[in-house]
Amino acid sequence: MGLTDPRPIGVFDSGVGGLTVLRALRSRFPDESMVYLGDTARVPYGTKSAEVVTRYSLRNAAFLTSQDVKLLVVACNTASSVALPALRASLGIPVVGVIEPGARAAARVSPSGNVGVVGTPGTIASGAYQRALVAERPGIRIQVQACPLFVPLAEEGWVQGDVPRLVAHIYLAPMRQAGIDTLVLGCTHYPLLRGVLAEELGPGVTLVDSADATADEVEALLGRGVAGRAPGGPGALRVYVTDTPDRIPELSARFLGERVERAEHVDIQAG
Amino acid sequence: MGLTDPRPIGVFDSGVGGLTVLRALRSRFPDESMVYLGDTARVPYGTKSAEVVTRYSLRNAAFLTSQDVKLLVVACNTASSVALPALRASLGIPVVGVIEPGARAAARVSPSGNVGVVGTPGTIASGAYQRALVAERPGIRIQVQACPLFVPLAEEGWVQGDVPRLVAHIYLAPMRQAGIDTLVLGCTHYPLLRGVLAEELGPGVTLVDSADATADEVEALLGRGVAGRAPGGPGALRVYVTDTPDRIPELSARFLGERVERAEHVDIQAG
């Protein structure tokens, strides 16, 4: 790779949640071209086994490398929690997940070392955040909570009002009792519920969004000589999905903050 | 087929929701052997396109016919709403869905012909219940509502209390205003929320569970010469899932009403 590398950054997720990570990357690196793949035909990964998620992840990565990406961002907590070793072993490009950057940021900002993690059942059960937090800061205290209703709430657009408030109240009760001072949003959908979560936990608790932390790690890699520069203008963006792209304009507006009118359907047979 | 036919009845669903249909079948036909396939590696179907759901359904059916089933029950509203023509065209055995029986029962029991249907976004968007209801009873008035939060509530076991009550209140408000007298539970998960839904709608509204109506249709088919008889004792049950079966004992207790300790994993590559 030369001093600049115009090839795109590849980003995949099980669905549309990873668009919050893409949003952080687009905002931080406006010159970079990016290719996003949402495996919407097989979403969600959070309830599936490690073996199945790894198989899907390898196929997603194969599609993105066929698009000549220079760097792969796994913008899915479930896939990051189980599939990174297999991805790194099989690809010849750098692979960045969302778990380690998020855990690192949380371990760094927590004053007391009493940290909470919310995520899908798959992410929480994998123990990946717990391991990453302990590796960053031995002696850290960790409260975890699987919150399976947060994803449908975010996708339904129910991010304010009584229902998300009540659901957050129930899920976060053990966190409040344990006196956490930092909460890791361990699922890419959860930033949409940030307002409700912040309100529920109060001003003494810092929310850590893995998307920003992941952008930090990508920045470090780009600084080592893979940064691209779009020829006159912002970097291009292509969005692919494995199911029909009908809802992408609406969901991209909500999750990415820019409306993607034309997402392309791609048929990857991932078993 | 002779007067009795000992081959099993095959039942598939995208996941565990179809176990409520299996429950109705087991209760009605205790002598019949049954094979259930839950496509848990690809659940949910409700947010996926007709094309993808049809492809998955054909593979599920191929697995069950390889188990020598005599009759196929599609215990999944989404698959029943889009894949029945393809299944009937490609299989040499009777295929029963859950939509037509449910619509028929609702059209029959509604005094005023003002009927509501709740289901997943995929089922509601397909218009399958609407078409089936109109075919049964021209002039019927139909209120539909997609309720994407009901499935995660049922799987989370949050079937009583403030959260499901509030969610049901929001989803069903247009139904109450329209004065429906009958509500079709157009998703196999929804019978678990029956208590909350009945409370929300009051005693003047009849809830129609497609599982019972589907058992009626199966009964009619079995009466035409395919009924089996287990040799001394209740019919055998085999349960297969495409993801790991770890949660099946717990979920089968809740959805099927009998605890299936040993579900088998089967790897069907369905793209």
Complex ipTM value: 0.81
Residue A190's pLDDT is what?
A: 95
Per cent of chain B over pLDDT 70 is: 94
Residue B271's pLDDT is what?
A: 45
A187 is catalytic: yes
Residue B231's pLDDT is what?
A: 55
pLDDT digits (tens, 9 = 90+) for A113-140: 999 999 988 889 889 999 999 999 999 9
Per cent of chain A over pLDDT 90 is: 80
A166 reaches B (C-beta below 8 A) = yes
A76 is catalytic: yes
* Alpha carbon of A227: minimum distance to chain B alpha carbons (Å): 35
A148/B148 touch (CB, cutoff 8 Å), yes or no: no
pLDDT band with cut points at 50, 70 and 90 for residue A147? very high
Residue type, A187: C
pLDDT digits (tens, 9 = 90+) for B89-99: 999 999 999 99
Which chain A residue has its CA at the smallest distance from B270's CA? A271
A149 reaches B (C-beta below 8 A) = yes
Residue B217 pLDDT > 50: yes
Which of A227-241, B60-74, B77-91, B103-117 has the lowest average pLDDT?
A227-241
Contact A3, A225 (CB under 8 A): yes
Q: Which residues in chain A have Cβ-Cβ distances shorter than 8 Å to B152?
A: 148-149, 151-152
A47 reaches B (C-beta below 8 A) = yes
Q: Which residues in chain A have Cβ-Cβ distances shorter than 8 Å to B166?
A: 162-163, 166
Which CATH architecture is the domain B9-97+212-265 placed in? 3-Layer(aba) Sandwich (3.40)
What sections of chain B are H helices per DSSP? 19-28, 50-66, 77-82, 84-90, 99-109, 121-126, 128-136, 150-156, 162-178, 194-201, 210-221, 248-255
- CB contact burial B142-156 (16+ within 10 A = b; e otherwise): bbbbbbbbbbbbbbb
pLDDT band with cut points at 50, 70 and 90 for residue A1? very low
Same fold flag, B9-97+212-265 and B99-210: yes
If one compares A122 and A248, the residue with the highest pLDDT of the two is: A248
Catalytic residue among A74, A76, A124, A222, which?
Answer: A76
Residue A271 pLDDT > 50: no
Residue B1's pLDDT is what?
A: 46
pLDDT digits (tens, 9 = 90+) for B133-161: 999 999 999 999 999 999 999 988 999 99
Question: Looking at residues A231-239, what average pLDDT do you find?
Answer: 80
Contact A69, A35 (CB under 8 A): yes
Residue B214 pLDDT > 70: yes
Catalytic residue among A87, A133, A187, A201, which?
Answer: A187
Number of neighbours of residue B233 by Cβ within 10 angstroms: 8
Q: Which residues in chain A have Cβ-Cβ distances shorter than 8 Å to B155?
A: 148
Q: Which residues in chain A have Cβ-Cβ distances shorter than 8 Å to B52?
A: 41, 243-244
- pTM of the predicted model, to two decimals? 0.85
Number of neighbours of residue B179 by Cβ within 10 angstroms: 13
* Alpha carbon of B28: minimum distance to chain A alpha carbons (Å): 32
* Alpha carbon of A243: minimum distance to chain B alpha carbons (Å): 6
**Domain A99-210, CATH:** 3.40.50.1860
For chain B, domain boundaries: 9-97+212-265, 99-210
Question: Looking at residues B60-74, what average pLDDT do you find?
Answer: 97
